[in-house]
Structure 1
Amino acid sequence: MVGLCMEFRRPAKARPGDKVAVVSPSFAAPGQAPSVHEQAMRRLSELTGLVPVEYPTTRKVGASARERAADLNAAFGDPGIRAVLATIGGEDQITVVPHLDADAAWADPKPFLGYSDNTNILSWLWTHGVAGFYGGSTQVQLGPGPAVDTCHAMALRAALITGERLEVTDPGQSEDFGKDWADPAALTEYGTREPTEPWAWAGPARPVTGRTWGGCIDVISWILTAGRFPQDPSVLDGGVLLLESSEDLIPAREFGFILRSLGERGLLEAVDAVMVARPPASNFTRMPDPAGRAAHRQAQRETAIEIVQRYNAAAVVCVGVPFGHTRPQWILPYGGTVTVDGASQRVWADFS
């Protein structure tokens, strides 16, 4: 295992005209909604100048774990592929990880982009010393709506091509989910958007710059249960923990239980900063009114701050940053560095 005290390999940036793999390591959403996928591929090419390459299971709904792993191994092992992008998450990627080829990923490291269930692959790469990026699933962030959100487009280009340092800012509005993909309006309209709340800050007024690890808190609990993370919490010493929750809308109490377990494991004590994303507060089947949505976000915010401070009062905590399941979405380095500045109450991401 490779930890924070050891060197990570940061994949080289792609250049316009290079090929990038587009894969479905969890659910093959492009097979269910091909028009959204095809619009995503057009936009990916327009924004980056890169050439998307599909694999046998990219559109194959119901592909086995071994089949999906074979596509990932082929992409990681192909010198002509310069990045790997997930189309979407899902719920069974944990069964894909045992079939992945660490030697291929290490020999020619290339950035992997995804979030949600893709926490599995990002954390697996992290434990093998390969940095990636949290966010950017094409079927959700590129395909739907009238355009790609500005902050997402900036972060995508930075992750894949330019590698600059960007300030992570609040876009001022947010949606929990978009139009149903079966509705033609999914290609031209956003979901219901509402104003965002100011980010909440806690802990000392000091800047922290550290290497990131974390992801979707639901999936993190699975990874730790499966024993796929180093036992020694010192691998996170001085790092920045990224946490976000999914469209399953787990209550703040359950979020707190998982976070408490991270504290008991020693992971909260090890890090110097914790960033918690703005959570979705509604989905296609659960649609609380504005007050109910605000209450859900407030409860998770208060729970996150209380539990982190219980285990690590010296950690800088920022809650509300849009890097998870809401849109617009910032992509963040995973195994790269982020600065969480409790003094200026600003966040910076290094995409090099």
Structure 2
Amino acid sequence: MAGGFQRPLMRPHRLRPGDRIAAVSPSWGGPGAFPHRYAAGKRQFETDFGVTLVEMPHALASPDWIAANPAARAADLMIAFADPGIAGILATIGGEDSIRLLPHLDLDVIAANPKVFMGFSDTTSLHLACQAAGLVSFYGPSIMAGLAENGGMHAYTRDALRRALFSTNPIGVVPRNTEGWTAERLDWSNPALQEQRRVLCRTDPSVILQGTGQATGPLIGGCAEVLEMAKGTP
């Protein structure tokens, strides 16, 4: 992973309707396994936000090929950062080994081309790389999980993305989710289920587990398992 370790954090430019957004598969070849699910996420994101998703060269490759070629996955990410015609980058899905991309990344390229980068779960490794490059990134939904929500994106997700990625205003207090939550599993291998809404459960009020008062400072989020993987690395 070329470049320095820690740099002052800078914020990327906001996204706008009409922007071209890169789709990358840094962890698992989900689009190759379930192309209809990826297509649904692409369609729903483009329709709701007026942008165009552009697949990087290997984003739609088969899961086996993706797993065997971490350098190619990293190259896709570097191409997306270096391309001035790309305004942002979205992970297609999580997985389990994006940490294998780290030796192939150039932090100087990321630092010289600050732009929105979003993904969750295993993508945490790449958020840590962005942080090391000095770029604020966004731990948020991927194309196939969140943007491809069955029956369309949840309003809570859509509104949060609009505040976080498409506005320069501070996000402010995160509103309570009154829409509901779900852990229902619908089989991605069955395209007929893509339009079936998942059953939502009632939300409860927020609960403060510990602490009082207010605190300020940078917030580092991510997947706890991946943070364990990153221990001992630059």
Question: TM-score normalised to the size of structure 1?
Answer: 0.60
Report the counterpart of residue 74 of structure 2 in structure 1: 69
Report the counterpart of residue 89 of structure 1 in structure 2: 94
Report the counterpart of residue 206 of structure 2 in structure 1: 199
Query: Conserved in 1, the CA contact under 8 Å of 2:58 and 2:76?
Result: yes
Match for residue 223 of structure 2 among 202, 216, 219: 216
Compare 181-190 and 77-86 and name the one that shifted more: 181-190
Report the counterpart of residue 170 of structure 1 in structure 2: 176
Match for residue 109 of structure 1 among 108, 111, 114: 114
Q: Residues 10-159 of structure 1: matches in 2 within 5 Å?
A: 10-60=11-61, 61-62=63-64, 63=66, 64-159=69-164
Query: Conserved in 1, the CA contact under 8 Å of 2:98 and 2:123?
Result: yes
Higher strand share: 1
Partner of 1:157, secondary structure, is: helix
Query: Conserved in 2, the CA contact under 8 Å of 1:178 and 1:186?
Result: no
Gaps of 5+ in 2: none
Q: Residues 281-292 of structure 1: matches in 2 within 5 Å?
A: none
| Structure 1 CA distance for aligned equivalents of residues 197 and 103 of structure 2 | 37
Partner of 2:219, secondary structure, is: strand
| Structure 1 CA distance for aligned equivalents of residues 199 and 225 of structure 2 | 25
Report the counterpart of residue 324 of structure 1 in structure 2: none
Which amino acid in 2 is paired with 1:182? Answer: S
Which amino acid in 2 is paired with 1:24? Answer: S
Partner of 2:217, secondary structure, is: strand
Instruction: Using the TM superposition, give the Cα deviation of residue 197 of structure 1 relative to its aligned residue in structure 2, in angstroms.
Output: 3.4
| Structure 2 CA distance for aligned equivalents of residues 23 and 204 of structure 1 | 39
| Structure 2 CA distance for aligned equivalents of residues 32 and 76 of structure 1 | 26
Gaps of 5+ in 1: 229-352
**Against the structure 1 CA distance between its residues 185 and 169, is the aligned structure 2 distance closer, same or farther, given a 3 Å change threshold?**
farther
Query: Conserved in 2, the CA contact under 8 Å of 1:83 and 1:160?
Result: no
**Number of aligned residues:** 224
Partner of 2:38, secondary structure, is: helix
Instruction: Using the TM superposition, give the Cα deviation of residue 177 of structure 1 relative to its aligned residue in structure 2, in angstroms.
Output: 4.5
Which amino acid in 1 is paired with 2:221? Answer: G
Report the counterpart of residue 311 of structure 1 in structure 2: none
Which amino acid in 1 is paired with 2:196? Answer: E
Identity %: 34
Instruction: Using the TM superposition, give the Cα deviation of residue 116 of structure 1 relative to its aligned residue in structure 2, in angstroms.
Output: 0.4
Query: Conserved in 1, the CA contact under 8 Å of 2:37 and 2:191?
Result: no
Deviations 1:225-276 (A, max 9, x none): x423xxxxxxxxxxxxxxxxxxxxxxxxxxxxxxxxxxxxxxxxxxxxxxxx
**Against the structure 1 CA distance between its residues 29 and 195, is the aligned structure 2 distance closer, same or farther, given a 3 Å change threshold?**
same
Q: Give 1 or 2 for the bigger CA radius of gyration.
A: 1
Greater relative contact order (Cα 8 A, min sep 6): structure 1 or 2?
Answer: 2
| Structure 2 CA distance for aligned equivalents of residues 186 and 37 of structure 1 | 14
